[in-house]
């Protein structure tokens, strides 16, 4: 596999340099090339597909595998701050999943330059590769359910809602609050989700949306994940954090 060859080459290069005393290895060695998304599966008796994007790029891409084909390749990230992979739909023809972002946690100090997703019967294994030559892996269980990936170009090109700011970012516990989200691609059917709950939402404009959060939804201190869901097509935005204190 091309990805494995690149990793081995880079690892051997670093080892040889260490033996010969190369003190400026990081400066003399150019950054690794932009890698692709590699999609593989163990079960190949049916058609498989994966719809994904790079965070924060957000552009949707699709890899389709025909019957008896075990591996496919898609575009790698084109933004310098790529931090995660967002999977919208994924199936090996028998087992599937929807909505998986990996790796978990905040962005790594180095950007993502490529990734692999391996379907091992009833489990998906996702690995991202960083520019500093480290990697991170996450796993996700597959379920026996039907999942379709888009086949039309216009469907793949759907633009997700995007949050650029949240005001306020901190609210008091046990007190109702109004929050304003600014960003892009909001529509009249967009709703705000706070840890999955749906407060009363008001559409202001394609770049602004407001939510009224009840006091009982702010009873427990801590951090809440805030997203915007576009109900008509099921697309969701990036997540920002609301702190209750």
**Residue 157 pLDDT more than 70?**
no
Tell me, yes or no, whether 51 and 74 share the same domain.
Answer: yes
Q: How far is residue 86's CA from residue 46's CA, in Å, rounded to a whole number?
A: 24
Number of other CB atoms surrounding residue 166 within 10 Å:
18
**Residue 29 pLDDT more than 90?**
no
Least reliable range by pLDDT among 58-67, 77-86, 158-167: 158-167
Q: Indicate yes or no: pTM above 0.75.
A: no
Which residue range(s) make up the domain with 35?
31-156
Q: Which long-range contacts (CB under 8 A, 24 or more apart) does 212-215 make?
A: 212/176, 212/177, 212/178, 213/171, 213/176, 213/177, 213/178, 213/179, 214/176, 215/174, 215/175, 215/176
Domain end, chosen from 94, 126, 156, is at 156
Give 127's strand partners: 116, 137
What's the domain count of the chain? 2
Residue 14 φ then ψ, to 5°: -65, -40
Domain end, chosen from 156, 181, 196, is at 156
Q: How far is CA 193 from the centre of its chain?
A: 17
């Amino acid at each position: 596999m091309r990805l494995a060859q690149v990793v081995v080459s880079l690892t051997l290069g670093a080892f040889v340099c260490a033996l010969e005393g190369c003190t400026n290895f990081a400066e003399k060695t150019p950054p690794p090339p932009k890698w692709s998304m590699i999609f593989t599966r163990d079960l190949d008796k049916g058609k498989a597909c994966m719809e994904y994007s790079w965070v924060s790029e957000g552009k949707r891409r699709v890899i389709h595998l025909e019957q008896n084909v075990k591996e496919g390749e898609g575009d790698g990230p084109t933004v310098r701050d790529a931090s995660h992979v967002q999977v919208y739909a994924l199936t090996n023809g028998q087992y599937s999943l929807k909505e998986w972002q990996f790796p978990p946690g905040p962005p790594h100090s180095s950007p993502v330059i490529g990734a692999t997703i391996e379907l091992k019967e009833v489990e998906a294994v996702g690995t991202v590769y960083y520019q500093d030559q480290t990697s991170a892996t996450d796993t996700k269980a597959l379920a026996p359910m039907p999942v379709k990936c888009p086949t039309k170009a216009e469907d793949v090109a759907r633009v997700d809602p995007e949050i650029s700011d949240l005001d306020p970012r901190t609210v008091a516990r046990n007190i109702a609050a109004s929050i304003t989200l600014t960003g892009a691609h909001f529509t009249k059917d967009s709703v705000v989700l706070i840890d999955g709950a749906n407060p009363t939402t008001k559409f202001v404009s394609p770049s602004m949306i407001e939510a009224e959060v009840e006091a009982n939804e702010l009873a427990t201190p801590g951090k809440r994940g805030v997203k915007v869901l576009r109900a008509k097509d099921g697309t969701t935005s990036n997540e920002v954090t609301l702190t209750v204190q």
